[in-house]
Amino acid sequence: MTKLFLFALTVSILFINADCKSDPVIPIEDITPGRRDYVWTVDTLKLPYGDVFTPTRIWGSTPNDVWITGFGDAGDLLWHFDGVRWIRDSTRYLISPSALWGTANNNIWLGNSNGAFWRYDGTRWNKFSEHKINGFDRIVIQGIYGTVSNDLWAVGFADQFNGGTKYIGIIMHFNGTQWEFTQTPEIKSGFKDVFKQKLTELLFIGGGGYDTTGYIYKIFKYDYKTISLINSNNESGSSIYMVNDKIYFVIGQKIYKYENNKMESWKDLSNTNFVGVMNGRTEKDFFTYTSGDFITWGIGHYDGSNFQTIYTLPPNFRISGMMVFEKTVFFQSYSTSSNINIVVHGVLQE
């Protein structure tokens, strides 16, 4: 297994120059500070004896329709929450999932480490298509994003898994009928995340690769003709996120926005226990991960005025994904010392 893929799996559990059109004028928003009065429950994903599973991705159409996937034994890779309980899909699809996204409860996509896309039609997962590139042994799909069924984007990488060292980032588009590769120059970077900013209609892609100094995280923007590097750094946990249709970049303990056609510093959380990730409803209501000693982790929240841990996990549990709805939040978590996986479920009090 290549270093690049090992890093991708680890990050999943925890972007050549071109000008583009200027950003439109951004209206001033009247945002209500996020509440913190959640009622918390914890569900355990119970595995058959001896089975192994580590959750890496979570997506849901509603609080009563949430999916979790990850890596491990073939029969434990898909879990579904129906509003009452988590149910393990024991059908052995041999999917090897590495990406998860959907636009509706009957249009959910998985990308895997064998260049294949699987689609859930509301009843069953079916293999949709499989893709290869000459000169490479495999394709790994790591990120999928879209808001409508006929305009989806996927990113990942192609590598020479069976002995070679060459790898390139890949971008794919789904037009409602088929997935196709975009025509982009070869970039030595494993693309991991992709989001489309509503105001600019630009795609932003996060990824990275190794050089002599270690792993370098990179951020790109793509205008459907040219892909441009806009940042590179070696800060652990760096990534790209979307909140309320806006693009944000987490680099170390600092958060940046993409406005005025550039990355702009927005929030410095260096004096807190913030350790990365950003997902939520607005700039005054978003969630993160926190840790003081990297043994005990928690759920962090920013309400527009201050940042604090609002839920603390048991020792040696780490969060590997979150899904945020209007009044409900889900945080998938795994233990680093045992084969136990939990979902922390928060609901705002009425």
Per-residue pLDDT averaged across 301-325, rounded?
Answer: 97
Strand order in the sheet with 297-302: 279-282, 285-291, 297-302, 307-312
pLDDT in tens, 71-84: 887 666 899 999 99
Residue in the block written with tokens 């790109």: 220
Residue in the block written with tokens 């073939």: 74
Pairwise pLDDT comparison (337 vs 94), residue with the higher score: 337
Distance CA 23, CA 262 (A): 9
Which residue type, as a one-letter code, is found at position 88? R
Query: Is residue 44's pLDDT more than 90?
Result: yes
Distance CA 203, CA 194 (A): 7
110 neighbors 94 (Cβ within 8 angstroms): no
pTM: 0.90
Percent of the chain with pLDDT over 90: 76
Query: Is residue 303's pLDDT more than 60?
Result: yes
pLDDT in tens, 123-143: 999 999 999 999 999 999 999
Report how far apart, in Å, the C-alpha atoms of 294 and of each of 135, 316, 317, 332, 347 are: 41, 8, 10, 17, 26
Which residue type, as a one-letter code, is found at position 288? T
Per-residue pLDDT averaged across 215-222, rounded?
Answer: 95
Distance CA 144, CA 283 (A): 23
3-state secondary structure the chain: CCHHHHHHHHHHHCCCCCCCCCCCCCCCCCCCCCCCCEEEEEEECCCCCCCCEEEEEEEEEECCEEEEEEEECHHHCEEEECCCCEEECCCCCCCCEEEEEEEECCEEEEEECCCEEEEECCCCEEEEEECCCCCCCEEEEEEEEEEECCEEEEEEEEECCCCCCCEEEEEEEECCCCEEECCCCCCCCEEEEEEECCCCCCEEEEEEEEECCEEEEEEEEECCCCEEEEEEECCCCCEEEEECCEEEEEECCEEEEEECCEEEEEEECCCCCECCCCEEEECCEEEEEEECCCCCEEEEEECCCCEEEEEECCCCEEEEEEEECCCEEEEEEEECCCCCEEEEEEEECC
Per-residue pLDDT averaged across 233-247, rounded?
Answer: 92
Least confident of 3-17, 68-82, 101-115: 3-17
pLDDT at position 29, please?
59
Distance CA 236, CA 250 (A): 10
From the candidate CATH numbers 3.40.50.2300, 3.40.710.10, 1.10.10.10, 2.130.10.10, the one assigned to the domain spanning 3-348: 2.130.10.10
User: What's the chain's Rg over C-alpha atoms?
Assistant: 19
Distance CA 248, CA 238 (A): 11
What residues are paired with 169 via a beta bridge? 157
How remote is the C-alpha of 344 from its chain's centroid?
18
Pairwise pLDDT comparison (192 vs 29), residue with the higher score: 192
Residue 92 pLDDT level (bands cut at 50, 70, 90): low
Residue 27 pLDDT level (bands cut at 50, 70, 90): very low
Distance CA 167, CA 139 (A): 10
pLDDT at position 110, please?
96
**Domain boundaries along the sequence of the chain:** 3-348
Per-residue pLDDT averaged across 3-19, rounded?
Answer: 42
pLDDT at position 237, please?
82
